[in-house]
A and B are shown apart, each in its own frame.
Chain A
Amino acid sequence: MSSAVLVLDRVTKRFAGHTAVDGLSLSVPRGVIYGLLGPNGAGKTTTIRMIMDIIEPDEGSVRLFGEPGTGREHSARVGYLPEERGLYRKMRVLDLIVFLAEMKGVERRRAGAQAAAWLERLGLGAWRWRRVDELSKGMQQKVQFISTILHQPELVVLDEPFAGLDPVNTQVMKDAVLELRRDGVTILFSTHIMEQAEKLCDQLCIIARGRKLVDGAVADIKRTQTGHHLVIGFDGAPGAAAQLFADKRVVRKLDDYGQYAELELAPDADPQRLLAALVSSGARLARFELSEPSLHKIFIDLVGPEAATPEARPHPGGPRA
Chain B
Amino acid sequence: MRKIWAVIRREFVERIRSKWFWFSALLGPVFFGAMIVVPVLFAGAGGTRRIAVVDATTGAFGERVAAGLRHGKIFRATRVPAGAGVVDSLTQLVGAKQLDGFLILTDAVVETGTAEYRASNVSSFRDVAELQDVLARLAMAARLERQGVDPALVGRAQLRISLETKKISGSTTTGESAAQSFALAYVMGVVLFLVITIYGVNVMGSVVEEKTTRIVEVLVSSLRPFQLMMGKVLGVGAVSLFQFVLWGLGAKLLLSQRRALLADLGGVEEARQVFQMPHLTAATLGVFLSYFLGGFFLYSAMYAAVGAMSSNEQEARQAQQPVMFLLLVAYVSMFGLTNNPESTYAVTLSLIPFTAPIAMPVRWAASTVPAGELGASLGLLAAGIVAVTWMAARIYRVGILMTGKRPNIKELVRWIRAG
Contact = CB atoms under 8 A, between A and B. Distances in A.
Interface of A: 16, 49, 52-55, 71-72, 75-76, 78, 80, 82-91, 95, 99-100, 102-105, 108, 147, 316-320
B6 A99 contact: yes
A203 B3 CA distance: 35
Given A72-B223, A102-B6, A87 B403 contact: no
A319 B401 CA distance: 7
Contact of B221 (A71, A86, A108): A71
Question: Sorted from nearest, which 7 A-B pairs have the closest CB atoms?
Answer: A86-B213, A75-B222, A102-B6, A52-B221, A82-B217, A316-B404, A103-B222
Contacts of B215: 86-88, 100
A317 B10 contact: no
12 contacts: A52-B221, A54-B220, A82-B214, A82-B218, A83-B214, A95-B10, A102-B6, A103-B218, A103-B222, A105-B3, A317-B411, A318-B402
Contacts of B18: 90
B315 interface: no
B402 A72 contact: no
A77 to B, nearest CB: 11
B175 interface: no
Contacts of B217: 49, 52, 54, 80, 82
Central interface residue in B18, B221, B402, by most chain A CB within 10 Å? B221
A229 B309 CA distance: 53
A62 to B, nearest CB: 12
A71 B218 CA distance: 12
Contact of B212 (A49, A72, A86): A86
Interface string B397-419: 00001111101000100100000
B14 interface: yes
Interface residues of B, number: 29
A319 B308 CA distance: 13
Given A86-B215, A91-B14, A99-B6, A320 B221 contact: no
Contacts of A52: 217, 221
Interface in B197-223: 209-210, 212-215, 217-223
B259 interface: no
B404 A317 contact: yes
A319 B10 contact: no
B149 to A, nearest CB: 79
A319 B402 contact: yes
Given A76-B222, A317-B404, 12 more contacts: A54-B401, A55-B401, A75-B222, A82-B214, A83-B214, A85-B213, A86-B215, A88-B215, A99-B10, A102-B2, A317-B407, A319-B402
Nearest to A159: B217
A78 to B, nearest CB: 8
Contacts of A147: 218
Nearest to B402: A319
B224 interface: yes
Interface of B: 2-3, 6, 10, 13-14, 18, 209-210, 212-215, 217-224, 401-405, 407, 411, 414
Contacts of B224: 72
A21 B146 CA distance: 103
Contacts of A76: 222
Contacts, number: 81
A156 to B, nearest CB: 12
B218 A88 contact: no
A283 B403 CA distance: 64
Contacts of B2: 102, 105
A318 B404 contact: yes
Given A52-B217, A86-B213, A88-B215, A320 B403 contact: yes
Contacts of A100: 215, 218
A103 B213 CA distance: 17
B196 to A, nearest CB: 24
Central interface residue in B10, B218, B403, by most chain A CB within 10 Å? B218
Nearest to A313: B404
A97 B407 CA distance: 33
A147 B213 CA distance: 15
Given A87-B213, A99-B6, A102-B3, A317 B402 contact: yes
B416 to A, nearest CB: 14
A319 B221 contact: no
Central interface residue in B18, B215, B404, by most chain A CB within 10 Å? B215
A103 B214 contact: no
B71 to A, nearest CB: 63
A311 to B, nearest CB: 16
Contacts of B219: 103
Contacts of A80: 217-218, 221
Nearest to A98: B6
B409 to A, nearest CB: 13
A104 B223 CA distance: 9
Contacts of A99: 6, 10
Contacts of A104: 222
Nearest to B18: A90
B213 A88 contact: yes
Given A54-B401, A317-B402, A318-B404, A88 B209 contact: yes
Contacts of B3: 102-103, 105
A72 B10 CA distance: 21
Central interface residue in A52, A317, A318, A320, by most chain B CB within 10 Å? A317
Contacts of B222: 72, 75-76, 103-105
B207 to A, nearest CB: 13
A75 to B, nearest CB: 4
Contacts of B405: 316-317
